[in-house]
């Protein structure tokens, strides 16, 4: 077992994200294939459209974001979650002037 306290975690800036910072709670090497982090987005923050070879699950804690794919768009608010399959394009944008926080679970697909 591994316990990570609220104030613990490695701070990082995700590639192709803007006005965002994260706190990596469980990283590769500590888990066989799963990474867990908090992502904090400022107003006008987000992530550029791109795919990932890993599975992703976003669970909204506060604020509101829009996640766009190639042919769909979803607005998420606290308590909402979205699953993104490997190699699926996605972008993120914060809605309105309120910061947004989400729990991010990333799973390496073997």
Q: What is the pLDDT of residues 23-48, one digit of tens each?
A: 999 998 899 999 999 999 999 999 99
pLDDT in tens, 44-101: 999 999 999 999 999 999 999 999 999 999 999 999 999 999 999 999 999 999 999 9
CATH number at residue 77: 2.60.120.10
Domain count, the chain: 1
Taking the C-alpha atoms of residue 2 and residue 13, their distance in angstroms, rounded to an integer, is 23
Whether 110 has a pLDDT exceeding 90, the answer reads no
Q: What is the pTM of this model?
A: 0.93
Domain-embedded: residue 25? yes
Give the residue numbers spanning the domain of 48.
10-107
Taking the C-alpha atoms of residue 110 and residue 95, their distance in angstroms, rounded to an integer, is 34
Domain-embedded: residue 4? no
Measured between alpha carbons, how far is residue 48 from residues 2, 17, 25, 51, 72 in Å? 32, 6, 23, 10, 15
């Amino acid at each position: 077992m591994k316990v990570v306290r609220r104030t613990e975690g490695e701070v990082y800036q995700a590639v192709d994200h803007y006005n965002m910072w994260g706190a990596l709670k469980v990283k590769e090497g500590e888990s066989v294939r799963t990474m867990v982090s908090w992502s904090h987005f400022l107003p006008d923050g987000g992530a550029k459209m791109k795919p990932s070879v890993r599975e992703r699950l976003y669970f909204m804690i506060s604020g509101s974001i829009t996640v766009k794919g190639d042919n769909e768009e979803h607005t998420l608010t606290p308590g909402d979650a979205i699953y993104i399959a490997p190699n699926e394009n996605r972008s993120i944008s914060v809605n309105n002037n309120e910061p947004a926080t989400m729990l991010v679970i990333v799973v390496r697909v073997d």
